[in-house]
Amino acid sequence: MCASTSPAGSSLVESPMTKKRTMASVEDQMIVLMDGVDLGSETLQQAMTDELRNLLNEDRPLTVYCGYDPTATDLHLGHIPTMVKLRQFQDFGHQVVFLIGSFTAQVGDPTGRQSTRPMLGESDVEEFSKTYINQAFIVLDESRTKVLYNHEWLAPLQFAEVIKLASEFSVGHFLQHSTFRDRIQKGDSIRISEFMYAILQAYDALHMNTDVQIGGTDQIFNIVDVGRTLQASRGQKPQVALTLPILVGTDGKEKMSKSIGNTISLTDEPLDMFGKLMSLPDEALDLYARLVTNLHPTEVDNLLLDIKKGNITPIEAKKHVASSVVSLIHGANEASEANEYFEETFQNRKDPIAEAPLYLLTEDVRLVHVIMDSMNLSGGEVRRLVAQGAIKINNETATDINQLLAEGDFLRVGKHKFLNIAAKL
């Protein structure tokens, strides 16, 4: 229907059918927001794609959330794919809720665990929460992020309401979850509290009544099978579930994990972060480009196509992705400097000795003290690096953390950290 003409002196009245969108086109948003999403099955993937498209057709800011149980003091790249996805929603004008699992962290997510996860105390959760929020704002726009804590509505729940929630699910329902099924088959114990974790997470969704929930693929059961089920049973429109693959570590095989030692920390220096990214196997390039950079999906597709056609070498493509990751975390200038340093030192084989920082020896000239003092590492981390053969003194592999250093020594820690040792004061 076309806009009609009013009597003289009146303005044109726009028909609802021709009303202009206030937000980006649905297809432009879908290309970015569905990129990297993996829901485990074609049926569920198509269903969530259709539901998201329907929501975007409403031409309004959606409310999107992701929950984070604060269980560590520092984050690594494996923690941020969901934050990158949240930022993509923010950039399209949607409202983001960063939910701190201040209550659920005390219960412990059993997903992927071969044994019961230890419960955290309130003080630990409070300390870890501050770290999560501060580091999350490396990726998210703080001014457009609402931070909530789920203890605010979970802690006051009456026991009768908890029983009512639990009654909506059967034990058989939970034993569909591979984590529980595997442990039952092995004869390992499962605590009732571990079943409750997924129910409490589902209650988060019910309480906030948001449009979309983001999570990892290891959360499909909790978000879809439990969360959407609870919402539907309470007469609420189930939220769209978007899950992302788990980021592999620097070995390109295992999930990024501090216990495995294959992490890239958000607190890593730009040069060190860039170097670790360059050590990734080529097969991990696609995953990193889509999950932990600001590259548009079309740019990633073209980059991978150029590799396949031989228009660009894998190492050049990897440098582009590494620069994008470092830029996201540290900034464009730092990324440029890290790229230049890598090219000069490793590609062009420029000797790093001349540019290595100077360390002036004090009374304690032991290797472990010098590294702890100059690189902010713990004694345990130094011991681990020595055991891995990752520390060299004058190109000789160090074997003793208490080895004494002297003026003129050149220290290499890992691939990207160097020190020139100067005379003791």
> Is 295 among the domain residues?
yes
| Arithmetic mean of pLDDT over the chain | 86
Whole-number Å distance between alpha carbons of 111 and 220 = 10
> Is 253 among the domain residues?
no
Instruction: Give strand pairing partners of 404.
Output: 366
The tally of CA atoms less than 13 A away on the side-chain side of residue 203 is: 25
pLDDT digits 0-9 by tens, 20-62: 889 999 999 999 999 999 999 999 999 999 999 999 999 999 9
Q: Specify whether 97 is located in the same domain as 226.
A: yes
pLDDT of residue 163: 93
> Is 362 among the domain residues?
yes
Q: Specify whether 60 is located in the same domain as 117.
A: yes
Q: Specify whether 191 is located in the same domain as 67.
A: yes
The tally of CA atoms less than 13 A away on the side-chain side of residue 78 is: 21
Q: Specify whether 118 is located in the same domain as 63.
A: yes
Is the pLDDT at 1 greater than 50? The verdict is: no
Backbone φ and ψ of 213, nearest 5°: -120, 135
More confident residue, 75 or 50: 50
Domain holding 112: CATH number?
A: 3.40.50.620
Q: Specify whether 384 is located in the same domain as 278.
A: no
Q: Specify whether 155 is located in the same domain as 87.
A: yes
Backbone φ and ψ of 418, nearest 5°: -135, 150
Whole-number Å distance between alpha carbons of 90 and 72 = 26
Contact 93, 108 (CB under 8 A): no
Q: How many domains, the chain? A: 3
Residue 146: pLDDT band (50, 70, 90) is very high
Is the pLDDT at 387 greater than 50? The verdict is: yes
> Is 2 among the domain residues?
no
Q: Specify whether 307 is located in the same domain as 375.
A: no
Which segment, 76-80, 107-111, 180-184, 187-191, is predicted with the most confidence on average? Answer: 76-80
Q: Specify whether 107 is located in the same domain as 62.
A: yes
Q: Kindly state the percentage of the chain with pLDDT values over 70.
A: 88
Structure tokens at 353: 């000795």
pLDDT digits 0-9 by tens, 400-412: 999 999 888 888 8
Q: Specify whether 375 is located in the same domain as 339.
A: no
Domain coverage including residue 292: 270-347
> Is 51 among the domain residues?
yes
> Is 197 among the domain residues?
yes
Domain holding 290: CATH number?
A: 1.10.240.10
> Is 256 among the domain residues?
no
Q: Specify whether 294 is located in the same domain as 413.
A: no
Across the range 74-90, mean pLDDT stands at 94
**What count of other Cβ atoms lies within 10 Å of the Cβ of residue 357?**
9
More confident residue, 375 or 415: 375
Q: Which of 119-123, 377-381, 383-387 has the lowest mean pLDDT?
A: 119-123
Q: Specify whether 166 is located in the same domain as 285.
A: no
> Is 123 among the domain residues?
yes
Listed residues 313, 347, 381: the one ending a domain = 347
Residue 115: pLDDT band (50, 70, 90) is very low
Domain holding 415: CATH number?
A: 3.10.290.10
More confident residue, 283 or 113: 283
Is the pLDDT at 369 greater than 70? The verdict is: yes
Residue 352: pLDDT band (50, 70, 90) is low
pLDDT of residue 355: 64
Q: Specify whether 308 is located in the same domain as 400.
A: no
